[in-house]
Homo-oligomer: A and B are copies of this chain.
Amino acid sequence: MRQVYFDNAATSHPKPPTVVQAINEYFNTIGVSPGRGGYRLGLEAGRKLLAAREVIADFFNCPDPAKVVFTMNITYAINFVLRGVLKKGDHVVTSSIEHNSVARPLEALKKSGIIDYTTVKADGDGFINPDKIRKALKTNTKLIVLNHASNVFGSLQPAEEIGGIAGDHGLLYLLDTAQTAGSIPIDMKRLNLSFLAFTGHKGLFGPPGVGGLCIDMDDETVLEPFILGGTGSKSHLLEQPEAFPDRLESGTPNTPGIMGLTAGFEFIKRTGLEKIRQHEMDLLKHFIAGCNDLSEIEIYGARDLSRQTPCVSLNIKNMDGGQLSFILDQVYGIMTRSGLHCAPWAHETMGTFPGGTVRFSFGWFNTHEEINYTLTALKEIIND
């Protein structure tokens, strides 16, 4: 059976061949740990990491490549910020469209009596009104943390306007770019971000197992490390080194994964971010137009495609989402994701809790022919 992959919001698939080649290159030409031995091959491994940091810093306009920190995935990057900067009595402003990677650590910090947080409710199309953010601020607010775009509904938030609010009030600002990095241009300076959390394996075309954090703030020492260990630096100290990236990077890094991710960034630069965005949005437009011809399909949000990622959630009336996703896979080989997408708040906001939706998320390697095939499949399922 043919395979049509529409779950790019979970992980992009396939990867550009150069990404897998770069991973193989690690094993064939490097193979050793960076920054551990002082031999040439170890230094070469270290240079590969530094080159990756430079590519990423350049891509997101992060002023200092040393403040590009690698983690296993974006969830770790978000936790590093929330656990690292929030102290007893702090208040956080977030939104009702967040992923559990933000919601669960915030809730745990609240339950421990450390922080309080306010959840600004998104509107019926999944958008956050910056005025509501402003109104939610308190005297003890330290941080605004937001999803750049909903992983369920694809609604792209006014991150720059909210960055202005953070600047006006001297607040830290963390943006979760899981759904946008590689698909939408992101400039840390322009958005006034203190922290940009990214995941390597979605729009950035890297392998699973690599994510990270870009940091740009006046006093980075407020970001306390909480995974401590060997860094290959200042080994005589029992204290974690203060300097970045070692401050937040303990133990042996995922060098092959980082080399793969670097190739992903290079693929985007070579292809052109605008071209990728155009193609993905053309696919989305094509798909939504086809769905709109089918009255049994209910699409949630996605009415203004200039404020949308190539991701859309829908249901077929009187049909369970899990069943629809199952039939699409079993009968047509079309891979989608049904359920709550690790984002119960977002579904509550859109009135799709607890049943959830079926999410279709498109990527660079998808084609208009696949959209046609899927629209035909949906018609058949509806008429069956």
Contacts and interface: CB of A to CB of B under 8 A. Distances in A.
Nearest to A209: B254
Contacts of A113: none
B336 A251 contact: no
A57 to B, nearest CB: 21
Contacts of A251: 72-76, 101, 199, 211
A59 interface: no
Interface centre among A100, A236, A253 (most CB of B within 10 A): A100
Contacts of A32: 5, 7, 10-11, 13, 335
Contact of A72 (B74, B105, B254, B325): B254
A360 to B, nearest CB: 11
A206 B5 CA distance: 29
Nearest to A232: B342
A266 interface: no
Contacts of A201: 33, 252
A39 B336 contact: yes
A375 to B, nearest CB: 18
A229 B38 contact: no
Nearest to A31: B13
A244 interface: no
A142 to B, nearest CB: 19
Given A108-B228, A252-B201, A336-B39, A72 B71 contact: yes
A226 interface: yes
A38 B339 CA distance: 9
Contacts of A228: 75, 79, 100-101, 104-105, 108
Interface stretch (A19-27, A131-139, A185-193, A299-307): A19-27
B230 A42 contact: no
Nearest to A27: B20
A75 B209 contact: no
A38 B76 CA distance: 24
Contacts of A102: 229
Interface in A211-266: 211, 226-232, 235-240, 250-257
A3 interface: yes
Given A107-B239, A251-B72, A251-B73, A10 B36 contact: yes
Contact of A226 (B11, B23, B83): B83
B335 A41 contact: yes
A343 interface: yes
B37 A325 contact: yes
Interface centre among A11, A33, A208, A336 (most CB of B within 10 A): A208
A341 B100 CA distance: 38
A78 interface: yes
Given A38-B329, A238-B104, A253-B209, A231 B13 contact: no
Contacts of A39: 7, 325, 328-329, 335-336
A339 B105 contact: no
Interface string A332-352: 000111111111100000000
A342 B105 contact: no
A60 interface: no
A99 interface: yes
